[in-house]
Structure 1
Amino acid sequence: MTTTAPPARTVPTSDVDPFSHEVLEDPLPMHTELREAGPVVHLTRYDVHALARYDEVYAALVDWQGFQSAAGVGLSNFRYEKPWRPPSIVLEADPPKHDAPRRVLQKVLGPRALRRLHDSWAADADALVDEVLSRGTAFDAVASLAATFPLRVFPDAVGIPQSGRENLLPYGDHAFNAFGPANDLVEKGAPRVAELSAWVNAQCQRDVLAPTGFGADIWAASDRGDITPEQAPLAVRSLLTAGVDTTVHGISAVLYAFATNPEQWQRLRRDPALARVAFDEAVRWESPVQTFFRTATTDVRVGDVVIPEGHKILMFLAAANRDPRRWENPDVFDLSRDPSGHVGFGMGIHQCVGQHVARLEAATLVTALARRVATIELDGPTVRHHNNTLRAWESIPVRVTLD
């Protein structure tokens, strides 16, 4: 007996602008609207197909054959448009070109490297917490902790010089803005693109990097023939682009979560081993990386909807991470939850290669804070930082009490 697929049905439509300042300030109502509209929604403003439910987002992330990254993980379609910089050899590539660089980065950022960094990062976290608390018990959790700690430890681990590190955050901010439309957020960063890109590219060269560190390990891989000498600086650039802003906003998310959920802070203090669970739950709950695009390599059926070949697909990772079809009480930050299935780091072959580095940074900082701080609460209005891709914070004023 043969069966035929059901005919494609008309896709629901929405004129919402996911990149408007109103939505970037509070995307949750839009996420609910898109999830409830159907498994696929056509966003008429940008002529893209949106996926906001967990099952569909997960399936698209793991199906690199049908939903390609090589045409760009932003709105721009590299089939027809020239990218603003050479594409990422990891994020914006598919097999076979994707395979060798990812293997190298997985090894460079693997368990052995993280074990080597653990003690020094923990000492750095203790020192930073002591510095912050010595100045008083009221401070901005973003400026004092979340935006400071990654810039203390991660560039050292990569092996870039001290000078110019203040360029990393504005460069990353523009790179993630550029995944969206050419709106005012992209225009804001445009005047410095050439300057920042030149600085970042210079840091990726062998003679600039320290003789030991992630960068040196990548160049050593090129010496062994694991990747080409042309790929080595692009692999280092991937670390500098994706390894700072995302971690800053992930740490901001977990600090905000604790400041607004005091019972969960007490739970962590009773069981510091929950620090990594807390970070993953915060990544699920806040989703620092809100969206990524894919491109259909052929006519792709999602449920009863056919997405035409060559069309862009916008995956709402954040909406999937709060999909009540997948998560019980999804709007609650809860350390008793197992958040391990979240898609905040992606999924499949393009899953964030540096996620374990981010976990280590967050866990060491949160653990150091929990040893000293009995309570943490908001101490004034919070301020969001708008970005086309990231759920970011400008300011989280907090007040703490000490043991």
Structure 2
Amino acid sequence: MTLIEGHKPITPADGIPVWDVDPYDEAILANPDAYYAKLRELGPVVYIPRYSILAVGQYASAHKLFTNHENFISSRGVGLNDFALEEPWRPPSIILEVDPPDHTRTRRIMAKALSPKVVKSLADMFRAEAEIIVDDLLRESSFEAVTGLAERFPVTVFPKAVGMRDVHHRHLVDYGSCVFNAMGPDNALRRQALERNAIIGPWIMAACARDRLTDDGLGAMIYAEADAGTITEAEAAMLVRSFLSAGVDTTVTGIGNALWCLANNPAEWDRLRADITLARPAIEETLRFTSPVHTFGRTAARDTEIAGYPVEEGSKIICVLGAANSDPEKWGDPGTFRIDRRPLGHMAFGAGIHGCVGQNIARGEIEAILSVMAERVARIEPAGDAVWRPNNAIHALDQLPLKFIPN
């Protein structure tokens, strides 16, 4: 059998619309709204012949697929490559790229380490660092918000939370970008990511070793599970590695996207300043409105169906979260950014048992930044054009020139 992008080619069932589009075209990745709309318009499931994959973009079909972990599995990879047919580009994640019962065991450990209680214990540290950074930026006439805030804050606080002794800020940011670009096809973005990972990957794994961590951080909590016999030492290192994609890249993207939303919707910023309890709803609306993770994959574990259409075993299906999160059938006015929307059920962090394990800490970090800004920043003004960075799975900003006007 000749593989296509590392997975078996499929023949779509009768009635499934066929769309000759490249979802990974850099122009689409930078400005995906028209692609999202067309995908939803075509139906609950669409066949894309360029990659011989199925795609779902309507909220109802996307949510149903993501919550059906028995028929649509993660252990064969969450990108286009099928790990049952082709060797993975790195050792698979033992929490992201694994199914129950193994997933249940590792998920329980990670969920404990990143519980709301643990995140709350980090709140004072998050706030102190947020105050330093926001005060620094208030002294600038303008600044580049991606590197100056969206990246700077997570790579300052998260290594402290994990207990990392060795910190390489650029590697921490670029590692997540590599992981998510590797989920796409053999395009320039993926090839460049794999080249960078040849350098970054070994550093990441070395930094996750027990002797490179303090004895009072999140990493030590994971290694304590190895001491208790719940997991092996090697598995502990793999779970600490998972922290660094779950806790850095999605947070960087979330902060940058929140700044972009609020800079372009000054009335919503004024509402947040007037009522800080809207910080969490503002985060959720940012996640829905911008979908930091725009696409995630699954593999059909057996012959099954999507929206009544037959789906054969081994089919690769991309779940276009960005399209689902902007589905007017679910949200009514999805193109409007409203911080009081409270978008219960958005899929920015996935859904079901594989929902992003780092979402609690991501929310805690973003809330710390927004809370400090709401107290000290009267206006967030664009200081130039925003530029989106094409990525095979992440919708993130590359440049965001801003100016903070103090109270």
Separation in 1 of the partners of 2:383 and 2:90? 41
Q: Which residue of 1 aligns with 2:393?
A: 389
Q: Which runs of 5+ in 1 are unaligned?
A: 1-7
Separation in 1 of the partners of 2:195 and 2:73? 31
Q: Which residue of 2 aligns with 1:122?
A: 127
Aligned residue type for 1:88: S
Secondary structure of 1:314 counterpart: strand
Q: Which residue of 2 aligns with 1:150?
A: 154
Q: Which residue of 2 aligns with 1:90?
A: 95
1:2-401 alignment runs, 5 A limit: 9-136=14-141, 138-401=142-405
Separation in 1 of the partners of 2:340 and 2:171? 38
TM-score by length of 2: 0.95
Separation in 2 of the partners of 1:377 and 1:238? 35
The answer (yes or no) to whether the contact 1:206–1:219 under 8 Å persists in 2 is yes
The answer (yes or no) to whether the contact 2:159–2:167 under 8 Å persists in 1 is no
Separation in 1 of the partners of 2:174 and 2:209? 20
The answer (yes or no) to whether the contact 2:246–2:357 under 8 Å persists in 1 is no
Per-residue Cα deviation, 1:277-332 (whole angstroms, up to 9, x for no partner): 11111010000000100001112211231111111010001100000110020011
Separation in 2 of the partners of 1:265 and 1:346? 27
Separation in 2 of the partners of 1:323 and 1:180? 23
Per-residue Cα deviation, 1:64-95 (whole angstroms, up to 9, x for no partner): 00000000000001110100111011110000
| Structure 1 position 162, deviation (Å) | 4.1
Separation in 1 of the partners of 2:25 and 2:365? 31
Aligned residue type for 1:262: P
Aligned residue type for 1:39: P
| Structure 1 position 158, deviation (Å) | 0.8
The answer (yes or no) to whether the contact 2:166–2:207 under 8 Å persists in 1 is no
| Structure 1 position 161, deviation (Å) | 2.1
Q: Which residue of 2 aligns with 1:3?
A: none
| Structure 1 position 221, deviation (Å) | 1.1
- 236-245 or 83-92: bigger deviation: 236-245
Separation in 2 of the partners of 1:111 and 1:303? 36
The answer (yes or no) to whether the contact 1:9–1:304 under 8 Å persists in 2 is no
The answer (yes or no) to whether the contact 2:175–2:201 under 8 Å persists in 1 is yes
| Structure 1 position 167, deviation (Å) | 0.8
Aligned residue type for 2:100: P
The answer (yes or no) to whether the contact 1:299–1:306 under 8 Å persists in 2 is yes
| Structure 1 position 224, deviation (Å) | 1.1
Going from structure 1 to structure 2, the CA distance change for 1:133 and 1:218 (only over 3 Å counts) comes to: same
| Structure 1 position 190, deviation (Å) | 3.0
Per-residue Cα deviation, 1:249-269 (whole angstroms, up to 9, x for no partner): 111111100000011000000
| Structure 1 position 192, deviation (Å) | 2.7
The answer (yes or no) to whether the contact 2:386–2:400 under 8 Å persists in 1 is yes
The answer (yes or no) to whether the contact 2:272–2:278 under 8 Å persists in 1 is yes
Secondary structure of 1:400 counterpart: strand
Aligned residue type for 1:91: L
The answer (yes or no) to whether the contact 2:137–2:404 under 8 Å persists in 1 is no
Q: Which residue of 1 aligns with 2:9?
A: none
Q: Which runs of 4+ in 1 moved over 4 A?
A: none
- 191-200 or 41-50: bigger deviation: 191-200
Separation in 2 of the partners of 1:232 and 1:332? 43
Secondary structure of 2:380 counterpart: strand
Separation in 2 of the partners of 1:264 and 1:271? 11
Separation in 1 of the partners of 2:215 and 2:169? 18
